[in-house]
Amino acid sequence: MTVRRLAASAYVPLGRVHPRVSRVGFGGYRVDDRSDVHREALREALVAGVSLVDTSTNYADGHSEILVGEVVRDVVARGAARRENLVLVTKAGYVQGSNQREAVRRARAGTPWSEMTEYAPDCWHCISPDFLRDQLTSSLERLAMPKVDVLLLHNPEYFLTDAAHRGVPQGEAREAFYDRLARAFRHLESEAAAGRIGAYGVSSNTFVVPHDKEDAVSLERVLASAGPGFAVVQMPFNPLETGAKEPLHTADGRSVLDVAKNAGLGVLVNRPLNAFSARGLVRFAAFQPDVLRELGHTADWDAERMMPLASYLDAEFRTPAGADATLAQRTLLALLGTPGVDVALVGMRRPAYVRDVLGAFA
Ligand SMILES: NC(=O)c1ccc[n+]([C@@H]2O[C@H](COP(=O)([O-])OP(=O)(O)OC[C@H]3O[C@@H](n4cnc5c(N)ncnc54)[C@H](OP(=O)(O)O)[C@@H]3O)[C@@H](O)[C@H]2O)c1
């Protein structure tokens, strides 16, 4: 089955980054160049007109970036997409897996990356300029490209969470945090000037929590130290985790989506189909037959599970989807109908997911 190309209505401008990006982006979490299924899914998405791909240094320990580089170069070489129409986003900050082993090696050799947050035994974090310089070099090597369009600091709030665990007073922790961000941004301005990145920004899970929470990242304060290259933010947003649109993120009662839009930023939302509730993970999408078999459930069980989720969506959001739309399609259209949201990043790592997601725009 071939994929239909996305309609013109499935594109919007992404702030100052690009005049036209697809409203769904390919989410690169849990994709790997060693999987033919993931390769085919990304290829189909790009050929059908998906024009934004989100990856990170730590996704599949670098193998997500390798996959993105390989598939993008192949699709462009075959003339099925034009590089200048694509927006490739990667992120830096996590120190895990082989990156963590390198951090340990450097520390032992007496040349550590500076300002390391040793958050947990298997998860360190860093945004110092020397670290970011090295990370970008490694990302460009894995992508096999001279430049990435957007580099995001990946969940910099680890510093705040760690400081809170260690009992550092909130005011002191925040001063140190925004000071580190300002230095990271100055470095990223120099990377933009050198042509290794097009723009930069921040992806934070705590953009969406109330502004007085200890680990909250304030987009207002972030913008106060950002330079002209700061152009994109990313945050979680799904039917049960709707914090992004709540008026809780500034002292005068604005939402992070309002602040982002007023600043002319491009807004990417992540984890649109995977919602965490008090009762655990709720999936706003059907399960594939093989996954259902593994779980010991039937398609009828899944249909019954999804019914109340579809009713909830119709009640909470004005879902502009037809009656026969799948749950994933209804969910994405509902989220994309929220003012301020430009692109939903979807973990469409199987060709069947790509076809389902793109069917929302048929
Ligand atoms: N902090 C951050 O910066 C951050 C955090 C989270 C995510 N992200 C970005 O956002 C992207 C999306 O998040 P996500 O991948 O965690 O979650 P998601 O897009 O909400 O998808 C959740 C899961 O749903 C399944 N799925 C996707 N499309 C489907 C479809 N059409 N029908 C049925 N099932 C479908 C996949 O599960 P299976 O493959 O397991 O079946 C997928 O992993 C990530 O890939 C990443 O690029 C960024």
Residue 305 has pLDDT above 80, yes or no: yes
As a whole number, the mean pLDDT across the chain is 96
> Which atom of ligand 1 is nearest the CA belonging to 286?
33
Cα 351 from Cα 45, distance rounded (Å): 8
Probe ligand 1: pick from 270, 330, 348, 350, max atoms within 8 Å of CB?
270
Average pLDDT of the segment spanning 117-135: 97
Please tell me the residue having the least CA distance from ligand 1 atom 21: 347
- Which tokens hold the place of 169? 């007073």
Residue 307 has pLDDT above 60, yes or no: yes
25 lines ligand 1 (CB under 6 A): no
357 lines ligand 1 (CB under 6 A): yes
Q: Burial, 159: exposed, middle or buried (Cβ in 10 Å; 0-12, 13-18, 19+)?
A: buried
Report CA(52)–ligand 1 centroid distance (Å): 15
Residue 86 has pLDDT above 60, yes or no: yes
Cα 9 from Cα 6, distance rounded (Å): 8
Per-residue pLDDT tens over the stretch 243-270: 999 999 999 999 999 999 999 999 999 9
According to CATH, the topology of domain 8-361 is TIM Barrel (3.20.20)
For residue 1, what pLDDT is reported? 53
Report CA(30)–ligand 1 centroid distance (Å): 8
Probe ligand 1: pick from 23, 24, 26, 29, max atoms within 8 Å of CB?
29
Residue 143 has pLDDT above 70, yes or no: yes
Q: Which of 23, 91, 54, 13 is nearest to 261 (CA)?
A: 13
Per-residue pLDDT tens over the stretch 321-339: 677 899 999 999 999 999 9
For residue 317, what pLDDT is reported? 87
Cα 35 from Cα 48, distance rounded (Å): 20
Quickly count: other Cβ atoms within 10 Å of residue 223's Cβ.
16
Report CA(141)–ligand 1 centroid distance (Å): 25
For residue 323, what pLDDT is reported? 76
> Which atom of ligand 1 is nearest the CA belonging to 29?
45
For residue 205, what pLDDT is reported? 98
- Which tokens hold the place of 282? 């709720």
Report CA(241)–ligand 1 centroid distance (Å): 14
Residue 27 has pLDDT above 80, yes or no: yes
- Which tokens hold the place of 211? 């502004």
Cα 268 from Cα 289, distance rounded (Å): 30
Report CA(227)–ligand 1 centroid distance (Å): 31
Per-residue pLDDT tens over the stretch 183-227: 999 999 999 999 999 999 999 999 999 999 999 999 999 999 999
Beta strands in the chain (DSSP E): 11-14, 18-22, 24-27, 52-54, 87-92, 94-95, 117-120, 123-125, 148-154, 197-203, 230-236, 266-270, 274-277, 280-283, 343-346
347 lines ligand 1 (CB under 6 A): yes
